[in-house]
Amino acid sequence: MSNEQSVPVVQIVNEAGRRRTFAVISHPDAGKSTTTEALALHARAITSAGAVHGQGARKGVTSDWMELERERGISVTSAALQFGYRGHVMNLVDTPGHADFSEDTYRVLAAVDCAIMLVDAAKGLEEQTRKLFAVCRHRGVPVITFINKWDRRGREALTLLEDIETHLGITPVPVVWPVGGAGDLRGLVQASDTEQMLRYTKVPGGTHAALEEVLTAEEATEREGEAWETALEELELALSSGPGYDQEAFEAGKISPVFFGSALSNIGVKLLLDAVVDLAPSPAARPLAKGGSREVTEEFSGLVFKIQANMDPAHRDRMAFVRVCSGVFERGMNVTRAASGRSFATKYAQTVFGAERTVVDTAYPGDVVGLINASALRVGDTLYTGKKAEFPALPAFAPEYFAVARPKDISRSKQFRKGVSQLDEEGVVQVLVSDRRGDQAPVMAAVGPMQFDVVLHRMEHEFSSPITLDRLSYKLARVTDPEGAAELAKARLTDAEVLVRRSDNALLALFADKWHLSAFQRAKPDILLQPLIATAD
């Protein structure tokens, strides 16, 4: 198939303008997957939400397709959902909520144009939320705040806004305000129209959208009394203390529009979805690794931000998720992988809705395309046609947990090697090897221990090679060079070791703790020991 871009530029501009590509981020248990379901429900992309009363019953959440996710009631991998709403194409990339899977979330944030940050009304800003917000700020991703679970007891609204400004260094600007305190949600009032109140009636189980009733200010005063008056006073106070909403300030990351509601009860979710359409930026030019940028109207380019195997148990295939960054993707087109300069045909391309797939023939900037069995691709790869494009690499997080993997059954060595290689390519864990240990005893390096649970589960159930994981005592990893590796080898330290990261051949020096690292640095101050992206900052 010819790679010549036959679609008119004006069509690309119009189609890109219709796209909204966003992620939902939060601390664990803040309601992230429930919010994802509720957004899809309000867009009428699904007819009934899978989230009902707590994690134990969350067996049908659309975005949680992996068996382990359904067993645990948590999201451990990102999933892409595409649906239409108000004439727009919504590309919602769900992310893992658990801190152990921060690296996967970081990769997703490289592929979106906006993020919805969930804040638990009772718990306020939590550690993982702060980390993910910092990643958004680093990547220039504007953030919409949704204060969730307002139908449960929690903190005061003004206090939550003050915490956001104090701890995140961003000005919260209320767009929607709750009528009634946390645990006593009477309804919502919009900052743009304080002459009416939106009153809701919950649907049992939250499986369908809550019934909405519009009250005039007079009706709200009569029916809600002091709660309505207090809401107006608090809203006025919150608005008077800040600069007000400004689109440029939002896209620059200076302010965050704030919404209140309850995803589980489907209250306030439609207003949030409307805000994504009205406020979130559409795809724009993306910076290149060596300077300059790739405009959305140029020929096709895309970023591989995730690789996932065995999404379809019947076929045991492998899917590379590609964010279209510029031009038009057409199924069957020949694209070039920037890292190798080699081209391949995109014969098998699909869009994804959780575990459901649909063949895609054409995709525009902002869309997420799944390429099937593109075995040459790696996370962070740039694909392009025409003029070469290469986007900045996705850096790895600093692992803090290490374990040696060994097959329980030596006769399954082939499956063992295949599984380890696949998990490494997907970025489930970082796989480290050394001459001393050999390929039959690779070291799995993880940001959090739950990643090891995923490794154990998938090695047994997907690759038919059960393994053992023997934990190592190392806690710190630093990038070094051949000279540093030689010095560590000569020192013969029992609390340090150098291994090679398989994905990029980087040399990683592992240390038991910061004191052993500091002692070696004092003894060898000229040796390269460069930190990776910190997970604790």
484 close to 455: Cβ distance less than 8 angstroms: no
152 close to 121: Cβ distance less than 8 angstroms: yes
Return the axis-axis angle of helices 226-240 and 217-224, rounded to nearest 10°: 120
As beta bridge partners, residue 124 has 120
27 close to 129: Cβ distance less than 8 angstroms: yes
Q: Is 27 annotated as a binding residue?
A: no
232 close to 189: Cβ distance less than 8 angstroms: yes
Determine how many CB atoms are found less than 10 A away from the CB of residue 140: 11
Extract the tokens encoding 311.
């999404």
Give kind and range of the element (H or E) at residue 402.
strand 401-407
- Tokens 């939590």 label which residue? 126
As beta bridge partners, residue 400 has none
Q: Is 204 annotated as a binding residue?
A: no
- Strands, sheet with 187-190, edge to edge from the N-terminal-most edge strand: 176-179, 187-190, 193-201, 211-216
Helix, strand, coil share of the chain (percent; to 5): 30, 30, 40
Question: What whole-number distance in Å separates Cα of residue 452 and Cα of residue 37?
Answer: 27
Tell me the CA distances in angstroms from 515 to 100, 496, 512, 522, one per residue in order: 24, 12, 8, 11
- Tokens 């949030």 label which residue? 272
DSSP state of 396: P
Q: Is 166 annotated as a binding residue?
A: no
- Among the residues of 185-265, which ranges form H helices? 217-224, 226-240, 247-251
For residue 483, give the amino acid letter: E
For residue 45, give the amino acid letter: A
Q: Is 466 annotated as a binding residue?
A: no
Question: What whole-number distance in Å separates Cα of residue 241 and Cα of residue 8?
Answer: 47
Annotated binding site: 94-98
Annotated binding site for GTP: 94-98
